[in-house]
């Protein structure tokens, strides 16, 4: 059964549609938005994702962790215990930097990645997304250049846009960011009279490509960052989720003074806790805490205490291993189905961990243009342009295998392959493909995280 792909109405779409004849009471406020709010725009595909969340659609779009794999009864007992026994603390305001005990425990969570730090340098935030926002807030003025992988995490682009940064993409190969291309990008920015401020990178099981920088690649990237005085912002939500059980060594492990490391419990425990952190070079820690206090006063004591208790009383690393198995099985289902069903000319990455594979369509096909047809055929993905600030990525898309069970993944890929083949045949009937136009990108919806 096909679903109709009508855009669902949103207030914003409504406001945008209404011309001068339909001015509403909201319009004067819209005109008064700060310049930085211009970067906050709704994704063109947002309406489609409302349709894609229907149960009959196989969504390979959202990066939602499979939290049903958690020991939910045990977590319920812990939460009850924390409120009953330590409620006066758990339900009170807490430290702006985060609970001291949890900060100590975070040191242990970072150990497999080779990080040795002091808990004074850890700042707990409402998810690592907030830590990312705060680092950009304290370093970037409008127009400052941030270097990022091509493609990169869609909501990092949202942060950079909201602080009016200029994003410069550095090409990747199958080992991640290419050092020669990074040098070229720095030189080009310098030649234009500016200085790049930050190098934002996701070196392990990258979102959206699933690729990982090997040790030599990491050393080369760090060396270049040091040579050019670039502060590295290392985003590492997936580092513990490698399918061969090994944990890539963090950049931070080899340069504690030059790297802000972002970590999170979202993928290794549960995203709903909204507990992440930044481990910062000592000199910037105070500024980060001040920025965190202006944003949220303090992170939630309740979730920090429940999480802390879980880390102490449960074999949490065994749970991480269980997650690895769940995601490895799903990754295998995705790769097998892609190999079995996708038409010639389609390529995809082979992730060694994490949640995502990056698929490139046969020549001339456009992933955004194809999405309505895919959703009508009951499968969803995220089109590639959302992962670039400059309109690249039209022929690519991100597939997430983290949430649907293996048989749904196989069915989703089978449907998607049918759509790709149909689009390719249509293009062949129309003649040679025209070059794909660059498109402006917009902020993601929650389905795209």
Query: Which of 308, 364 has the CB closer to ligand PMP?
Result: 308
The span from the CA of 428 to the CA of 369, in Å, is 16
Query: Which of 266, 392 has the CB closer to ligand PMP?
Result: 266
Q: How far is the CB of 274 from ligand PMP (least distance, A)?
A: 7
The length of the chain, given as a count of residues = 449
How far, rounded to the nearest angstrom, does the alpha carbon of residue 283 sit from its chain's CA centroid? 27
Cβ atoms of residues 367 and 397 within 8 Å: yes
Give the contacts of 80 (CB within 8 A, at least 6 positions apart): none
Query: Which of 276, 362 has the CB closer to ligand PMP?
Result: 276
Q: How far is the CB of 353 from ligand PMP (least distance, A)?
A: 13
The span from the CA of 98 to the CA of 275, in Å, is 10
- What tokens were used for 289? 């805490």
Query: Which of 112, 372 has the CB closer to ligand PMP?
Result: 112
Q: How far is the CB of 112 from ligand PMP (least distance, A)?
A: 18
Where do the H-state alpha helices sit in 342-405?
Answer: 367-376
DSSP 22: G
Query: Which of 127, 362 has the CB closer to ligand PMP?
Result: 127
Tell me the residue number closest to ligand PMP, measured at CB. 127
Helix axes 127-139, 282-296, angle to 10 degrees: 110
Residues forming contacts to ligand PMP in the complex (CB under 6 A) are 63, 127-129, 153, 202, 207, 235, 237, 264, 266, 271, 276, 449
Q: How far is the CB of 202 from ligand PMP (least distance, A)?
A: 5
Query: Which of 348, 355 has the CB closer to ligand PMP?
Result: 355
- Quote the longest CA-to-CA distance of the chain: 71
**Cα–Cα distances in Å, from 419 out to 55, 358, 367, 375, 422?**
19, 17, 11, 10, 5
Query: Which of 144, 235 has the CB closer to ligand PMP?
Result: 235
Closest CA to 210 of 103, 102, 330, 110: 330
Q: How far is the CB of 129 from ligand PMP (least distance, A)?
A: 3
Q: How far is the CB of 444 from ligand PMP (least distance, A)?
A: 10
Q: How far is the CB of 403 from ligand PMP (least distance, A)?
A: 12
How many other C-beta atoms lie within 10 A of the C-beta of residue 47? 18
């Amino acid at each position: 059964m096909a679903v109709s792909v009508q855009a669902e109405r949103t207030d914003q779409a409504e406001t945008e549609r209404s011309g001068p004849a339909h001015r509403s009471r909201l319009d004067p406020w819209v005109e008064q938005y700060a310049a930085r709010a211009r970067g906050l725009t709704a994704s063109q595909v947002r309406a489609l994702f409302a349709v894609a969340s229907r149960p009959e659609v196989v969504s390979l779009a959202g990066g939602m962790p499979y939290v049903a794999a958690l020991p939910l009864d045990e977590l319920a007992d812990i939460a009850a215990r924390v409120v009953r026994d330590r409620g006066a603390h758990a339900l009170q305001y807490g430290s702006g930097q985060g609970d001291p005990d949890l900060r100590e425990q975070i040191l242990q969570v970072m150990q497999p990645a080779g990080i040795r730090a002091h808990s004074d340098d850890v700042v707990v935030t409402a998810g690592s997304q907030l830590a990312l926002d705060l680092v950009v807030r304290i370093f970037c003025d409008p127009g400052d250049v941030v270097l990022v992988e091509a493609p990169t995490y869609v909501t990092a682009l949202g942060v950079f846009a909201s602080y009016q940064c200029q994003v410069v993409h550095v090409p990747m190969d199958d080992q991640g960011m290419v050092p020669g291309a990074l040098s070229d990008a720095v030189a080009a920015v310098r030649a234009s009279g500016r200085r790049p401020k930050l190098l934002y990178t996701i070196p392990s099981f990258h979102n959206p490509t699933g690729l990982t920088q090997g040790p030599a690649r990491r050393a080369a990237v760090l060396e270049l960052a040091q040579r050019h005085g670039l502060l590295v912002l290392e985003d590492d939500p997936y580092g513990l989720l490698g399918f061969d059980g090994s944990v890539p060594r963090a950049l931070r492990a080899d340069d504690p003074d030059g790297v802000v490391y972002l970590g999170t419990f979202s993928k290794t425990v549960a995203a709903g806790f909204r507990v992440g952190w930044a481990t910062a070079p000592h000199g910037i820690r105070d500024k980060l805490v001040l920025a965190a206090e202006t944003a949220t006063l303090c992170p939630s004591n309740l979730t920090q205490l429940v999480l802390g208790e879980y880390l102490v009383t449960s074999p949490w690393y065994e749970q991480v291993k269980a997650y690895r198995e769940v995601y490895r099985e799903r990754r295998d289902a995705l790769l097998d189905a892609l190999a079995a069903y996708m038409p010639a000319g389609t390529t995809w990455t082979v992730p060694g961990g994490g949640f995502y594979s990056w698929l490139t369509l046969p020549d001339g096909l456009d992933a955004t243009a194809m999405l309505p047809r895919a959703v009508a055929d009951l499968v969803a993905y995220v089109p590639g342009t959302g992962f670039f600030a400059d309109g690249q990525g039209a022929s690519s898309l991100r597939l997430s295998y983290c949430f649907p069970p293996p048989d749904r993944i196989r069915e989703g890929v089978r449907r998607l392959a049918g759509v790709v083949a149909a689009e390719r045949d249509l293009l062949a009937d129309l003649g040679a493909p025209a070059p794909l136009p660059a498109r402006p990108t917009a902020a993601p919806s929650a389905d795209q995280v």
